Amino acid sequence: MKPPPRPKLEIHKGDNLAVLRGFPAASFDLIYIDPPFNTGRSQRRRALSTVRDEAGDRTGFRGERYRTVELRVRAFRDSFDDYLAFLAPRLEEARRLLTPTGSLFVHLDAREVHYVKVLLDGLFGRECFQNEIVWAYDYGARTKRRWAPKHDTILWYSNDPERYTFHYDAIDRIPYLAPKLVGPEKAARGKTPTDVWWNTIVSPTGAEKTGYPTQKPLAILERIVRVHSSPGDRLLDFFAGSGSFGHAALKAGRECVLVDQSAQAMAVMARRLADGKPRFIGWSPRKTTKLMSGVRKRPIRS
C-alpha cells in the first residue's frame, strides 16, 4: 500500500535543535533562517587578579596574604560568545539536513554577520560561500551620530560549490535607474537585481503585517524561493516567527517545514497559513483562540 502523501506544510513547536536532530540527513533542498540576535543567556564573565594585602582573604607564596581584585567585566563579549555557541550546533544541523545540491540562507544584521560568516566558512568551506545579499530599506528614524543603519545581510551557502539551484529566468525584473540610456526594449523588460536588494520593510499599517515583531517582507522570501528551489523541493525555516518563509513557499507550491518555540508564533502562523492546512506537531491550534485574535486570516494566492 502506498504511504499517504506528505502534507504540504508542517509546523513544529519546540526548541529547534531538538526538532532538527529528529530529521533524517539530506531531507531539505532549501533552508532559510532569520535567527534572533539575543539568546537571552547573556553572561557576565569577570577577569580576576590578586594583590598583596595584609588584610586579604587568601594565603599565597611564603604565607603572604593576598586580596582578589576584579580587572574587568566583559558582559557584551560574553553575550556574543553565547550567541555563536547557540547558533553553531543549529548551523551544523542545517548542513547535515541539506540535499547535495541544497542551499542555506542565513539572515542577519551588521552586528553579528561577520562572526557568523567565519563560522559558516569553517562549516561549509569558503568555496561554498556564494553571495552576501544586502537587503537595503529606507524607513524609520535616522540617527544624527553616525550613518543610519538601514540594511540586513543574507548569507548564501551552497552545499556543493558547483552544483546548486539558481533559476536565473525566475528572477523578477526591476526598473533601470536611467531607462533612457538603455533603449525602449531593454527599459520595458527591466534589469535583474544585483546582490543589493532594495525593498521596503513590512509596513506597520499595510495588509502584509501580522503584528509579529521582526516579520520579514514576503517579496524578499519569494525571490529566494523562486530562484533557489524547484517544484517538488522541500523547504525549511527553523526560526519561523510569523511564517513569512512558509507563506512564500506555499505561494510557490513548495512543501515546507517550519519550526519555532514560541506559542505566539504558532498562533500567528495558524491564522496566516490556514490555507495551507498545516499539520501542527507539539501544539494544537484549538487551545489558542485568544492568542490568535487580532491576526488577520488571508487567502494565499500564487
User: Site residues (CB under 6 A) for ligand SAM?
Assistant: 15-16, 34, 36, 212, 214-216, 239, 241-242, 244, 259-262, 265
Closest residue by Cα to residue 41 from 85, 1, 7, 3: 85
The pairing of strands 255-260 and 234-237 is parallel
The nearest distance, CB 144 to ligand SAM, in angstroms, is 28
How many CA atoms are closer than 13 Å to the CA of 224, on its beta-carbon side?
35
Residue 137, C-alpha cell as written in the block: 530599506
The nearest distance, CB 228 to ligand SAM, in angstroms, is 16
Q: Which residues contact 187 (CB under 8 A, 6 or more apart)?
A: 175, 176, 179, 180
The nearest distance, CB 166 to ligand SAM, in angstroms, is 22
Give the number of other Cβ atoms within 10 Å of residue 142's Cβ. 10
The nearest distance, CB 226 to ligand SAM, in angstroms, is 17
The nearest distance, CB 36 to ligand SAM, in angstroms, is 4
Q: Residue 102 or residue 241: which is nearer to ligand SAM going by CB?
A: 241
C-beta nearest to ligand SAM: residue: 241
Q: Residue 128 or residue 271: which is nearer to ligand SAM going by CB?
A: 271
Q: Residue 158 or residue 261: which is nearer to ligand SAM going by CB?
A: 261
Helix then strand then coil, in percent of the chain rounded to 5, is 35, 25, 45
Q: Residue 128 or residue 254: which is nearer to ligand SAM going by CB?
A: 254
The nearest distance, CB 210 to ligand SAM, in angstroms, is 7
How far is Cα 110 from Cα 96, in angstroms, rounded to an integer?
27
CA distances from 265 to 59, 73, 262, 274 (A): 55, 35, 5, 14
Q: Residue 39 or residue 50: which is nearer to ligand SAM going by CB?
A: 39
With left for phi above 0 and alpha for psi between -120 and 50, is residue 209 left, alpha or beta? beta
Q: Residue 65 or residue 95: which is nearer to ligand SAM going by CB?
A: 95
